[in-house]
Amino acid sequence: MTKTQRQHRISELIDREVISTAAQIVARLNAEGIAATQATVTRDLQELGTVKVRDEHGTRRIVVGTASLSNPAPLDHLRRMMGEWVVSVESSGHLVVVRTPPGCAHVVASALDRSSLEGVLGSVAGDDTILVIASEDRGGENLAREFRSLAGIDDLTALTKGIGHG
């Protein structure tokens, strides 16, 4: 595992779990089969710009310095971004293709990534298209249906906007 991959995994751990020490991170990484020493993890935490804070429950935890303890992009923000910029949503298997006007895909993808929406494994944005990968249990069609709902579109709406397929 590379340093970048290890640091990414550490970021995921501290975003999803209440972790207050480097030793806890070392234990979690070791449990996943990732060899790391406490000194290495401490350096990684420094490079990631983490800080120790007390969360809203008074629990000490490690967070990335720019991270908020609340969800940085609530569902309402995602709904506004999708409602404003998404023109169509299609799925195939576990893949969802979200279309936007040219130059707007990154705006929606950023809101989507920051929303931590359940069942989204990741996304890749181009100029006017976002490819979203749905988890096995969520499935592409279910995720696409939720995206259409968030965007306030259905097949008829997409056609009346002049967004045809083909």
pLDDT in tens, the chain (166 residues): 888 899 989 988 998 889 999 999 999 999 999 999 999 999 999 888 888 888 777 888 888 765 444 444 567 778 888 998 999 999 999 999 999 998 888 888 888 887 878 899 999 999 899 999 999 999 999 999 999 999 999 755 444 444 444 4
Q: Give this prediction's pTM.
A: 0.54
CATH top class, domain 3-64: mainly alpha
- How confident is the model at residue 161, as a pLDDT? 46
31 CB contacts (<8 Å, ≥6 apart)?
Answer: none
Tell me the one-letter amino acid at 30.
Answer: N
| Pair 88, 99: CB distance under 8 Å | yes
CATH top class, domain 75-160: alpha beta
Helix, strand or coil, per DSSP, at residue 72 = coil
- How confident is the model at residue 47, as a pLDDT? 86
Q: Give the other-Cβ count within 10 Å of 109's Cβ.
A: 22
Long-range CB contact pairs, 60-64, < 8 A, 24+: 60/20, 61/14, 61/18, 61/19, 61/20, 62/14, 62/19, 62/20, 62/21, 62/25, 63/14, 64/11, 64/14, 64/15
- How confident is the model at residue 66, as a pLDDT? 55
Residue with tokens 């006007």: 101
Q: Could you tell me the residue ranges of all domains in the chain? A: 3-64, 75-160
- How confident is the model at residue 158, as a pLDDT? 45
- How confident is the model at residue 42, as a pLDDT? 93
- How confident is the model at residue 117, as a pLDDT? 86
